[in-house]
Amino acid sequence: MVNAVLAGIGVVTPPPQLQQDLWDGYFKAYTGGSARAERVFANSGVHTRHGVINPLIEDISEWSTGRRMRRYEEESLPLGKEALTRALAESGVDATDLGLLVVVSCTGYATPGLDIRLAAALSTSADMQRMVIGHMGCYAAIPALRTAADYVAQHRRPAAILCVELTSLHLQPATDDLGQAVAHSLFSDAAAAAVLVPGGPGLAVRNVASRTDTAHADDMTWHVTDHGFRMGLASRVPLVLARHAADAVRALVEPAGRDLSDARAYAVHPGGPRILDVVGKALALSANGLDASRATLAEHGNCSSATVLMVIDRLRRDNPEVDDIVAMSFGPGLTLYSALLTSG
């Protein structure tokens, strides 16, 4: 069977916002000057974030969900179109050659959706298939990658995935819930696209594996409320994820005749600094083994499903010779998804 090769990635972000400015100019008053919330922001590992909403300019904390969804429709198309256009340009694939487009988002919904509007904006072929993945959260890019890779391998036609996450649209009404402070200190906006082609040089999608701990399903939640979508996070999430990380990677690499030590690079979703710390320890990674994930967190924050593609892109650009990547992301469930990308 032909390999599905990652031929191009495109990343686009809205305007930047400095974490310290956000705390000083908005979240300090929003949290009532909470010392605990200030520590959360200071220890988030985030220096710069990006958002279609800047709370220093536009306070949407009391907006209805309907108003937020209308703004999602306005903002998601230009960001998604630019990210996909960049990925297509790097891959040398024309939009009319795409056989499948998988669009991922857990931060906005509308019908006709972003997939249809992108098809019109890019003049894709009328027979291009479309799939929308919603509300899976931060790990959704990897099952999307799996779907696209399977299509490419079977039909020998290019496919693309696009993750558009506008978390800034979900600023909640003020509360003393520390979990909300954690969410507001980490999450950021981005669009990230990847194009897969049948065969050729580059990193091929060799395997995808998943692991879900349903006993902790309520430790990470994302609920629709009258004022946008509300994140729920239990403090034990990093430890639960770390408990499963090594087994998740073994399930990924062993069918390919490899072991944990064979991976040359890791693209781990930077759900937060503590998650990176405990997962790195569980996988026995070197001190700099998650540098790309930490740098992405510092420069962009947690961009939900788009983030793991951003880390993969950083690894490719920082080290063009990298020929073996284990990608891993986490989300509600608690769920871990991982992908093995190799060349040759």
Tell which CATH classification among 3.90.1150.10, 3.30.1360.100, 3.40.47.10, 1.10.1040.10 matches the domain 203-342: 3.40.47.10
Using one digit for the tens of pLDDT, what is the confidence trace for 3-21? Answer: 999 999 999 999 999 999 9
Domain 4-198: which CATH number of 3.40.47.10, 1.10.1040.10, 1.10.3720.10, 3.40.50.720: 3.40.47.10
pLDDT of residue 259: 67
pLDDT digits (tens, 9 = 90+) for 207-264: 999 999 999 988 889 999 999 999 998 889 988 898 999 999 988 888 877 766 666 7
What pLDDT, on a 0 to 100 scale, did the predictor assign at position 261? Answer: 63
Closest listed residue to residue 172, CA positions, set 135, 225, 220: 225
Strand spans (E) along the chain: 4-12, 16-18, 48-50, 100-105, 129-134, 159-166, 189-198, 203-212, 220-225, 228-233, 265-268, 324-331, 335-342
- The DSSP string of 188-233 is -EEEEEEEEEESSSSEEEEEEEEEE-GGGGGGEEEEEETTEEEEEE
Global pTM exceeds 0.75: yes
| Average pLDDT across the chain, whole number | 94
Q: Do domains 4-198 and 203-342 have the same CATH topology?
A: yes
Domain locations in the chain?
A: 4-198, 203-342
Active site residue 138: yes
pLDDT digits (tens, 9 = 90+) for 153-202: 999 999 999 999 999 999 999 988 888 999 999 999 999 999 999 999 99
